[in-house]
Chain A
Amino acid sequence: MLIFGRDLTHLTKKTYIFYFLGSLALLFVIVPVINMFFASELSVVFSAAQDLEVRKSVFLTLWVSLVATLFCSVFAIPLAYIIARNDFKLKNLVLGIINIPIIIPHSAAGIAVLGMVSRDTVLGKAASSLGLSFIDSPMGIGLAMAYVSIPFLILTAITGFSEVPKKIEQAAANAGASNLQIFFKISLPLAKNSVLGGLILMFSRGISEFGAVIMLAYFPTITPILIYDRFVSFGLENSRAVAVVFVSVCLLIFMVFYLLTNKRKK
């Protein structure tokens, strides 16, 4: 029997069930997005795209997440390297700690971060003495985004560094390379795809954050909050238009990322 040009006669009844169930899962993911695009009226989407408030928020969301990701990578990548390269007694505990932002509700994460940086705390006071504030500022948005998304970078990078054979690093050491040279000339280039993947994951997780950010900064408004705000104030159609604009921008960015990284692989 030929289905889509492939001979599927070898499939037993059991595997048909697997194919059927699997397709449902796939549909569950894609249908709402497609539906969102088709349900939106083009004119409303266009006017949303031209709306200055929408444009500002999309731009804000993207750059804050990007800066947060790059800033955190300075700390996250060394941590991932240490964890991947060393066996120590409390390794599982450390891994558990890294997973905390993933497993706790994001609004709770936002509250936790807020408690650390609100105006009457040491960090909050230090920031305000410099004329800065974590509350209702891009800095606060970035902090909230970073908190909930940093595990994705660390965990993906750990996987990448673990896959670099120890022997290759030892060969570099034998050739006289210092530990820093080994990291920059051997381990990081070899784990490049995973580290890059981790950065993209952290960035994309950052731009989609709502729960934690809203606790620290309702204003300036990032797009996930704007979508919610428009929904509450103006209803489904208006907020859906903003969502379509935002999702389109995100998809575009990831397509560019994908093409760039794939081109390099070739």
Chain B
Amino acid sequence: MILELKNISHKLDDFELKDINLSIAKGEYHVLLGPSGAGKSVLLNLIAGFYTNHIGTILLNSIDISNFSPQKRNVSILFQDLALFPHLNVYDNIAFPLKIKKISKIILNDEVEKYLEITEISNLKYRRIQDLSGGEKQRVAIARCLVSGADLLLLDEPLTAVDTQLRYSLRQLLKSIHRLGKTIVHVTHDLKETKDLADKISVINKGQIVESGTYADIFNHPKSVFTADFNNSKNCFRVDHKNSKLLQIGELRIDLGNVFMPDQGGCSVFFAPEDVLINDSQDYENSNAFLAEVVSVSKNGNVVQIELYAGVSIFSEMSFDSFAQRNINIGGKVRITLDTKKIKLITI
């Protein structure tokens, strides 16, 4: 593990980080995902050393850095507002961390040139910061982060401030930086970004890490209502029945079979889109079959997403091949099958 956070808590005026535990492996691209105000940036700043007096331990390469000054932490942070030095040009901004280390001029120049090239801004070398576009500034800030040589990069919403077109090329840049062997902690509220970049994700809400895992882990099998909701509420339903074997969702009456339902309080039920089967010939034990209307069909890569309506909107996902084999037409009725074993109950 390159970074380990153990029981981190920190109280600010109107916000609190609560008992954060997080392990990040070397070379991992870890995304901290959550809505604004969730505490993502606070956590990043805390790792970089800008909040003192927190509770808990921060281990970097197994060394306890909890009490280290920001200068000594050997992590590099990319601030959301970039914080470039406005009185220095592009070259001097990137050279700053090296000049501080009093590195010889020849090595310094080589290093700066190298990162100018990686971030594809060699042509902007002598520009003033004020004369750069948003995307160019972002690249300068990324180059300045890289040049300091830290193994761990902390990126605070690095793609939020730029427009959609630039976002794509910057994503490619982040991927290529990751391939250089850097460990990256990337803070965002954007699902697309997360899906595209993350090796692992931690979902953070109200100062707490709600769950961690890969994209598939988290969004196909969310452990919390918050995470399920974060994924556009697809196939996640609130249930108020207590101690019942039958679940009523819209016009669907789902036999829960042996799925355990908590006695106390309500809960939510979730089924992954790929577990909603359409016109499937196989018969499953404990399965529920219904008729539903096909509302829309959209193709994303090799995956086809089908929106169905049966009193409530239900989403199904399948590969293009299996879609082609099944007779699915918009407006037509289809038979959907839900395996009870695949139904997840979420109690948090």
Binding site for B on A (CB under 8 A): 165, 167-168, 170-178, 181, 185-186, 189-190
Instruction: Answer yes or no: B219 CB below 8 A from chain A CBs.
Output: no
Binding site for A on B (CB under 8 A): 48-50, 69-71, 73, 75-77, 79, 81, 83-87, 96-97, 100-101, 144, 148
Given contacts A167-B79, A176-B71, A176-B100, 4 further A-B contacts (CB under 8 A): A174-B48, A174-B71, A175-B96, A186-B85
- Known contacts A173-B71, A174-B48, A175-B96; is-contact A167 B144 (Cβ 8 Å): no
Nearest-neighbor residue (CB-CB) of B148 within chain A = A175
- Known contacts A174-B48, A181-B100; is-contact A167 B71 (Cβ 8 Å): no
Closest Cβ of chain A to B103, distance in Å, is: 11
Label chain B's interface by main secondary structure: loop
Closest Cβ of chain B to A98, distance in Å, is: 27
- What is the CA–CA distance of A176 and B69 in the complex, to the nearest angstrom? 10
User: Are B70 and A174 neighbours in the complex by a CB distance under 8 Å?
Assistant: yes
- What is the CA–CA distance of A167 and B156 in the complex, to the nearest angstrom? 13
Closest Cβ of chain A to B16, distance in Å, is: 20
- What is the CA–CA distance of A170 and B79 in the complex, to the nearest angstrom? 9
**B contact residues around A174 at 8 Å (CB):** 48, 70-71, 73, 75-77, 148
**B contact residues around A178 at 8 Å (CB):** 71
- What is the CA–CA distance of A126 and B204 in the complex, to the nearest angstrom? 65
User: Are A171 and B71 neighbours in the complex by a CB distance under 8 Å?
Assistant: no
User: Are A175 and B100 neighbours in the complex by a CB distance under 8 Å?
Assistant: yes
Most central of A165, A171, A177 by chain B CB within 10 Å: A171
User: Are B83 and A170 neighbours in the complex by a CB distance under 8 Å?
Assistant: yes
User: Are B87 and A171 neighbours in the complex by a CB distance under 8 Å?
Assistant: no
- What is the CA–CA distance of A190 and B69 in the complex, to the nearest angstrom? 23
Q: A168 touches which one: B69, B73, B83 (CB < 8 A)?
A: B83
**A contact residues around B101 at 8 Å (CB):** 176
- What is the CA–CA distance of A172 and B48 in the complex, to the nearest angstrom? 12
**A contact residues around B73 at 8 Å (CB):** 174
Most central of B48, B81, B83 by chain A CB within 10 Å: B83
